[in-house]
Chain A
Amino acid sequence: MRTTFINTLIELAKNDDRIVLLTADLGFSVFEKFEKEFPDRFYNIGISEQNMVGIASGLAIAGKKVYVYSIVPFITMRAFEQVRIDICYHNLDVKLIGVGGGLAYGPAGATHHAIEDISIMRSLPNMTVLAPGDPYEAKQSILETYKIKTPSYIRLSKNGEPLIHENTENLKFEIGKSIMINEGNEILLLTTGNMLEQANEIYKDIYRLTDKKIGFYSFPTIKPIDKEMILKISKKYKYIVTLEEHSIIGGLYSSISEVLMKNNLKEFKLERIIPFAIEDKFSHCVGSQMHIRKCYNLDKESIITEILKINKIIRS
């Protein structure tokens, strides 16, 4: 997704000389293209994230469209107060690009994992939060946030994510709108960000195992969350399974629950939400993203087992 980001940004920057890219010493082997083409619009601020976000604020006040890049925890947490005040309170045209959402940095360890970022970013007023799940969603996220003049946070994965949305001619990507991949009934699988690939495999496997195509939606925008769609699906589905590579606290599951609980629950067909997320526990489990998911029971097999259990309940 980093290359999707840089390639898309280069296209945008060709036509808009207000665009400036700041990095906190990261982007090696990916950003050189941008730097070569726009040397006076690229700055490696160095390993000083708070400074970088403050500088982004100053640039944006002076009219620039600023893209700020680092690994998710460093840009959202190290610089959180600067994001909160210098960017959000001032409501500036700054896009925070975080790489390595969820457990994408795998064996690098906990300091490089992004577990709480969605919850803290969405708690900020004026902040738009996106977690694209494949290169299509990533490119569209960059293109659509370019059009807005208010703060946004885009949580990228790392690289090598496969394209999940294959037929996109009829798709119209919009900030704040979920994407329906399949409309089923009874069971709905709902995901965001880098869990999209695994969700797609689960969806296909469930079909193989039960001959049933469950509902399957992607939520690339966490904030503003697609309230309309959430209410619609709660009136159609009995079980919603949420899937995110983020803490159980404050991410996709929380966002959806917040919307649902404000309504007249009697109007819902929905009986339960079954959330899959990172439990509220640090892990010293060492390994790849896939391996650590297993340590947290977020692997494909664990989730399929649970969905099959639900399916059994429905059938009986």
Chain B
Amino acid sequence: MTKENLLIKSNEARKIILEMKYKSKSSHIGSAYSVLDLLIYLYYEKLNMTKENLNTNKRDRLILSKGHASAALYSVLSLKGFLEKEKISNYYCDGGDLPGHIDNTVSEALDVSSGSLGHGLSIGVGLALASKMDRIENTIVVILGDGELNEGSIWEGAMSATRFNLNNLLIIVDANKFQGYNKVDDILNYERMVKMWKSLDFEVFEIDGHNFEEMKKTMGAKSFMKPTVIIANTIKGKGISYMENKLEWHYKSPNEEQFILGKKELEEKVK
């Protein structure tokens, strides 16, 4: 897909997410918007995941360990045809199919339910280890939040990842710089965080998490030599100007006025 088409897709997804969050009045739109472009690239360019291979062990897998960005993943799955569009409309609502975090039973394309931070990497290690045991060549992608890196269990998983030399494991950190109550840097300094991955012998890349070319440059290869971490520098709330880089958009949902404004902005972007 061309860069332009990827931009169109991500814009479409942003509109869906805005609708979901407005209707349900649920939190985490900032988190969904920071990770979205990475998900678009992964599902449209990188992951070996089709309707035909969905039920096999051979396909690639993705774990959204920062499960609160669920709207982003659900929207991309619906665009790809892996999730029925009707389910999107009842996100987070009474009787709906989709909760605010990830429930893997809603789609065959989903392997892991998430929502409590710090779990996804170990599960990814298990999946990557199984592939090695069975000599399957696939990629296991685990998306972590930068705040999520506070959790010790992440580093337990990281320790195992390089110990087992899981070069089929691709970790992406959605580094949008804000967590629940502070900036991420207030809790764990960014440079230290980068060094932590490097000291565990990961291959580490730092990219602009909204730049498809940089994604292609780092993720475009079919496989890696070492377990790899891509630290994607992103903007919380990316895509709607009044949301960008604001901690409060971790929590807030757009009111009617903000919804109309946001929708207009998104529509203007793709013309």
Q: Which of A13-59 contact B (CB under 8 A)?
A: 20, 40-41, 43, 45-46, 48, 50-59
Q: Which of B120-138 contact A (CB under 8 A)?
A: 121-131, 133-134
Q: Do A55 and B113 have beta carbons less than 8 Å apart? A: no
Complex CA gap A81/B153 in Å reads: 11
Which of these, B116, B125, B153, contacts A58 with CB under 8 Å?
B125
Which of these, B112, B129, B152, B159, contacts A46 with CB under 8 Å?
B159
CB-defined contacts of A56 to chain B, threshold 8 Å: 126
B66 to chain A, nearest CB (A): 15
Q: Do A54 and B153 have beta carbons less than 8 Å apart? A: yes
CB-defined contacts of B115 to chain A, threshold 8 Å: 85
Answer whether residue B245 sits at the interface, using C-beta atoms and an 8 A cutoff.
no
Q: Do B153 and A51 have beta carbons less than 8 Å apart? A: yes
Q: Which of A44-81 contact B (CB under 8 A)?
A: 45-46, 48, 50-64, 81
Answer whether residue B156 sits at the interface, using C-beta atoms and an 8 A cutoff.
yes
Q: Is the interface of B mostly helix, strand, loop or mixed?
A: helix
Answer whether residue B45 sits at the interface, using C-beta atoms and an 8 A cutoff.
no
A17 to chain B, nearest CB (A): 9
> Given A61-B127, A90-B104, A55 and B122 touching (CB < 8 A)?
yes
Q: Do B123 and A89 have beta carbons less than 8 Å apart? A: no
> Given A45-B160, A90-B112, A54 and B131 touching (CB < 8 A)?
no
Closest partner residue, chain B, to A22 (CB atom): B126
A74 to chain B, nearest CB (A): 13
Q: Do A50 and B122 have beta carbons less than 8 Å apart? A: yes
Interface size class of A (residues with CB under 8 A): 20 to 34
Number of A-B contacts (CB under 8 A): 91
> Given A50-B153, A54-B153, A64 and B130 touching (CB < 8 A)?
yes
CB-defined contacts of A61 to chain B, threshold 8 Å: 111-112, 123, 126-127, 130
CB-defined contacts of B157 to chain A, threshold 8 Å: 51, 54-55
Q: Do B125 and A54 have beta carbons less than 8 Å apart? A: yes
Closest partner residue, chain B, to A49 (CB atom): B156
CB-defined contacts of B241 to chain A, threshold 8 Å: none
Answer whether residue B53 sits at the interface, using C-beta atoms and an 8 A cutoff.
no
Point out which of A20, A58, A85 has the most chain B C-beta atoms below 10 A from its C-beta: A58
Q: Do B122 and A51 have beta carbons less than 8 Å apart? A: yes
Q: Which of B96-154 contact A (CB under 8 A)?
A: 104, 111-113, 115-116, 118-119, 121-131, 133-134, 152-153
Complex CA gap A62/B104 in Å reads: 14
Could you mark each residue 243-269 of chain A with 1 if its beta carbon is under 8 Å from any beta carbon of chain B, else 0?
Answer: 000000000000000000000000000
Answer whether residue B57 sits at the interface, using C-beta atoms and an 8 A cutoff.
yes
Complex CA gap A120/B95 in Å reads: 30
Q: Do A51 and B125 have beta carbons less than 8 Å apart? A: yes
Complex CA gap A82/B160 in Å reads: 16
B158 to chain A, nearest CB (A): 9
Complex CA gap A62/B160 in Å reads: 18
CB-defined contacts of B119 to chain A, threshold 8 Å: 54, 81-82, 85-86
CB-defined contacts of B129 to chain A, threshold 8 Å: 43, 55, 58-59
Point out which of A46, A55, A89, A90 has the most chain B C-beta atoms below 10 A from its C-beta: A55
Q: Do A57 and B123 have beta carbons less than 8 Å apart? A: yes
> Given A46-B159, A50-B156, A85-B119, A62 and B112 touching (CB < 8 A)?
no
Complex CA gap A57/B121 in Å reads: 11
Q: Do B113 and A51 have beta carbons less than 8 Å apart? A: no
B118 to chain A, nearest CB (A): 8
CB-defined contacts of A64 to chain B, threshold 8 Å: 130, 133
Q: Do A54 and B133 have beta carbons less than 8 Å apart? A: no
Q: Do A57 and B122 have beta carbons less than 8 Å apart? A: yes
Complex CA gap A20/B157 in Å reads: 18
Complex CA gap A225/B242 in Å reads: 56
Q: Do A40 and B130 have beta carbons less than 8 Å apart? A: no
CB-defined contacts of B113 to chain A, threshold 8 Å: 85, 89-90
Which of these, A40, A54, A59, contacts B121 with CB under 8 Å?
A54
Closest partner residue, chain A, to B142 (CB atom): A58
Could you mark each residue 54-83 of chain B with 1 if its beta carbon is under 8 Å from any beta carbon of chain A, else 0?
Answer: 000100000000000000000000000000
Point out which of A50, A54, A64 has the most chain B C-beta atoms below 10 A from its C-beta: A54
CB-defined contacts of A85 to chain B, threshold 8 Å: 113, 115-116, 119
Measured CB to CB, the residues of A under 8 A from B are 20, 40-41, 43, 45-46, 48, 50-64, 81-82, 85-86, 89-90
> 30 A-B Cβ contacts within 8 A?
A20-B133, A40-B133, A41-B133, A48-B160, A50-B118, A50-B156, A51-B122, A51-B153, A54-B121, A54-B123, A54-B153, A55-B123, A55-B125, A55-B129, A55-B157, A57-B122, A57-B123, A58-B124, A58-B126, A59-B127, A61-B111, A61-B130, A62-B130, A62-B134, A63-B130, A64-B130, A81-B116, A82-B119, A85-B115, A90-B112
Supplied contacts A48-B153, A57-B122, A58-B126, 19 more A-B pairs, CB within 8 Å: A46-B160, A48-B159, A48-B160, A50-B118, A50-B153, A51-B122, A54-B121, A54-B122, A55-B122, A55-B123, A55-B125, A55-B126, A57-B112, A61-B127, A62-B57, A63-B130, A81-B119, A86-B119, A86-B123
